[in-house]
Structure 1
Amino acid sequence: MTSVAERPRALFAEASRRWVRMLPWAVAFVLSVSLLPTTLVVLTADYGLHAGIASALAVAQTAPLPLAVVRPLRSWYVVFAADVAGALVLLTVDHEERLLWPYPPMQLVGYVGLCLALGLRERRRTLLWVWFATAVVNVGLVFAAPDGPSSNGTLLTILGGVALLLGGALRERYEAQRRLAEQETISEAERARRTLLEERARIARELHDVVAHHMSVITVQADTAGYRLRTLPPDVQEEFTSIAATARESLGEMRRLLGVLRSEEAHGELVPQPGLAQVGQLVEATSRTGGPVEFDPCAAQVPEAVGLSAYRIVQEALANVVRHAPGAATRVSLSVPEPADGQGGSRLTVLVVNGPPPRPPAGPLEAGGTGHGLVGMRERVRLVGGTLEAGPLPDGGYRVAARLPLDAEDFL
């Protein structure tokens, strides 16, 4: 059984306009419909052939022309054999010398159109073989002519050769343009890829020169605070130790990010990604900033992608609390409620709710916020097929609620 990829395509099948794709079919249909009755009438009335023989020749010489739109070489086999057979049959009847032999005018028209279709489809080697076969047969028919070398076989050879040459030239020109377009597309894709790599390298340099430098300074200052400031109370010393640990963890994540940005083949260090088990550390670090944080953990086993998304959502939500509502009471809840009937599979619910700050902040903790936090959370939720709700509360607080599917098929 022939597959779809192996089926021959019609001439001009790749054209963008419909009328161009239909043009070969229209031309072949017009030639076949017009030449069939004309050939039959000419062979019977002018050349004096028997009606049955004339009908068979007319059908064999014109009916295969529509096939040339899809398989021109097979159509040529049938038409060429029928034309030669017709020439030999005409030798058996007496006809006027003014009539063309071995090819009546209708056969000339059909054969030239067929050669044009061959040139548009077949390779150069095939076209040379077709023209050579035509020339050899016509030379042989010249010697079989009843009145000497007065046939129009030479005309058919010339016109067929011109049609083959024209069709082949058009086909090769189209192929050259197609290859050029493909190369331009590849070059454009390569240019875009190179631009992307350059931009990633630039971002990596900026991150290294600015963020990593400042984080390193924070780490060093926090680590050495106990040696430089001998009178630090124990709780303040513990706070500096926590700051140094957080900064070192951030530096580790920054190094992995830089490794990915600098090379498209780099996948970062092979370290476990944070998940639900690390959410408690986020809550503890936030509570040390002065605001009470209530945490309801979840011991359920969740897919790695879901756990990482939940961790990042809580991380961003708590960071927003520290930025915009310092000191506000916050509640973080992770749970996997039982699915209700008809509600699909189980889902991890991530809830971060904070109340209003105890006192209005004197100013924003960070100047010029980008608003990328909520965008990032929505993207992470969308990647795993979940939903996210985020917005202010009537009492002045803020609520972030995400529902992440736990079934892999829900988000693949």
Structure 2
Amino acid sequence: MSDEAPTPPPARSRLRRAGGVPAQLATALRTPARTAQPLFAQAPKAWQRLLPHAVVGIFVVTLLPVTITVLTDDYGAAGGWAGALGVAQTVPLLLALTRPLPAWLLVLGADVLGALLLTRADEVGGHAWPWPPMTLIGYLVLMACLGLRTSVRTLVGVWLATGAVSLVLALFRPAGTTDTSALLFVLSGTVLALTGALRGLGDARQRIAEQEVISEAERSRRTLLEERARIARELHDVVAHHMSVITVQADSAPYRIAGMPEPVRQEFAAIAASARESLGEMRRLLTVLRGDGTNGGGGEGTALAPQPGIGRLQQLVEATVRAGQPVELSLAAGAVGVAPPAVDLSAYRIVQEALANVVRHAPGATTRVAVTADEDEVLVLVVNGPARDAVVEVESSGTGHGLVGMRERVRLTGGTLDTGPLPDGGFRVAARLPLGDGAGAGPTGPVVPDAAKDTNEEGS
């Protein structure tokens, strides 16, 4: 089973597949990520991305000659001024596809200038003012582009500015003209509301799709963790079976084999004791994995036996020596019984993991273990020399989980850890575990039960 959770599909792809045509429309209406992107830049199909350019282009090509013709024929404006106003009021619509706010400022300025110039036109009476019909159409197209691109606050500001400009222009209204100020104010507000709602729909559907992707990733991660826990439980069942067989065989060997020397009897007894201890630790770990007990698995099920500490280092070293690894232990008299439970347990586990690494990667190497304590801290030092030339490593490579486990335990107590190779080919593990008030509560909170932390870390 791969350790990596499956990568969820992108939010945009999920949105397209989930909702059909409405979903594609929502994706097309999605606000572009960058200001310079054209309108509908995130549409899934090419024709949808080209559609705004075609629509605005048709309006510009149509409104430009119509504006010039209406201004000259109906309003009696001069040909030069009519041409200039026609270009200024229509061509900036092309800019609205990428930068609608600057386009709005240009069009609004041109429309205001045109309204002021029309006050002196020869035939303005009897016609619409200050916004002629072609000006209304162009302005509404601009409002549609704005509504699909900008925020609600900006849309409200644009609408209010349009009303304010219309109100000021009404003060200069020529006699006999039809006032279109209120008409533009109402129509522009309607277009802004509709297009803003469409854009909001696209944003909402996009956020929903992104949230679905996040939820799917969390579900994948939770499934992966549950699968790992299941494998761990199955591994416990398999290993526990074999360990039970070893225990039974070691206990019954003196009765099955006659005339067994006393040293051999003691060796079988030690094997049986080690197997039973391993079974006990695996059962406590399994209790946490299955969620038994209270407080997240830290109830009575995890306290069936006392946790090991510095006082049991002698037994740990003796077991390692019996396995063929030469180890010397220097245990200060004041180091036993002075440390709080978290520090006591962390010191034992650090030495245990360090010795396990020596057995794996430097079998037969001379190893020294020293544990000292004073009023402030406990110092743990494990140093081993290079492996004997004639001995092959039990494991040629490691995962690094052993050193990671040491660092986690040291961090949990607020101490420091120093590990690294020695010039002669050996390795050093040095840990400083404080005995102050911070011991037992690291940066992330109080100490969790050992059964929850000790996952039988692999060697470095």
**CA deviation after TM superposition for structure 1 residue 214, in Å:** 1.2
- Taking the TM superposition and a 5 Å limit, the aligned residue runs for 1:125-204 are 157=186, 160-204=189-233
Identity of aligned residues (%): 33
Which fold has the larger relative contact order, with Cα–Cα distance below 8 Å and residues 6 or more apart in sequence? 2
The answer (yes or no) to whether the contact 2:128–2:180 under 8 Å persists in 1 is yes
Find 2:279's aligned residue among 245, 251, 257. Answer: 251
Aligned residue pair count: 326
- Unaligned 5+ residue runs, structure 1? 1-11, 49-93, 135-140, 339-344
Contact kept? 1:35, 1:106, Cα under 8 Å? no
User: Which residue does 1:275 correspond to in 2?
Assistant: 309
Q: 1:350 aligns with which of 381, 400, 405?
A: 381
1:382 maps to which of 384, 393, 407:
407
> What is the Cα deviation at residue 151 of structure 1?
5.2
User: Which residue of 32, 36, 47 corresponds with 1:19?
Assistant: 36
Deviations 1:226-278 (A, max 9, x none): 33234333333222222212111111111223334445954584335433333
Residue number among 9, 14, 28 corresponding to 2:101 in the alignment: 28
Q: Give the aligned CA root-mean-square deviation in angstroms.
A: 4.9
1:372 to 398, 408, 413: 398
Q: Give the AA of the match of 2:314.
A: G
Residues 107 and 305 of structure 1: CA distance in aligned 2, closer, same or farther (over 3 Å): farther
The DSSP-based 3-state class of the residue aligned with 2:370 is strand
Shift of 1:197: 0.9
> Would the aligned equivalents of 1:351 and 1:402 in 2 still touch at CA under 8 Å?
yes
Task: Give the TM-score, by structure 1 length.
Answer: 0.60
- Measure, in 1, the Cα distance between the counterparts of 2:373 and 2:206: 59
**One-letter amino acid of the counterpart of residue 31, structure 1:** W
> What residue number does 1:314 align with?
351
The one of 293, 296, 301 aligned to 2:330:
296
Distance 2:127 2:279 in 1: 96
Give 1:65's aligned residue.
none
Question: For 2:302, what is the secondary structure of its paired residue?
Answer: coil
* Other structure's SS at 1:207 match: helix
Q: Give deviations 1:187-227, integer Å, cap 9, x for gaps.
A: 23202311331233123213322x21111111111222233
Show the counterpart of 1:208: 237
Q: Is the 8 A contact 1:208 1:258 kept in 2?
A: no
Structure 1 position 42, deviation (Å): 4.1
The aligned residue for residue 47 of structure 1 is: 119
Partner of 1:61: none
Normalised TM-score (structure 2): 0.55
Deviation at residue 328 of structure 1 after TM alignment? 5.8
Cross-structure match for 1:75: none
Q: CA contact under 8 A between 2:136 and 2:184: conserved in structure 1?
A: no
Deviations 1:109-142 (A, max 9, x none): 667655765676559xx99xx9xxx9xxxxxx9x
**Matching of residues 55-94 of structure 1 within 5 Å:** none
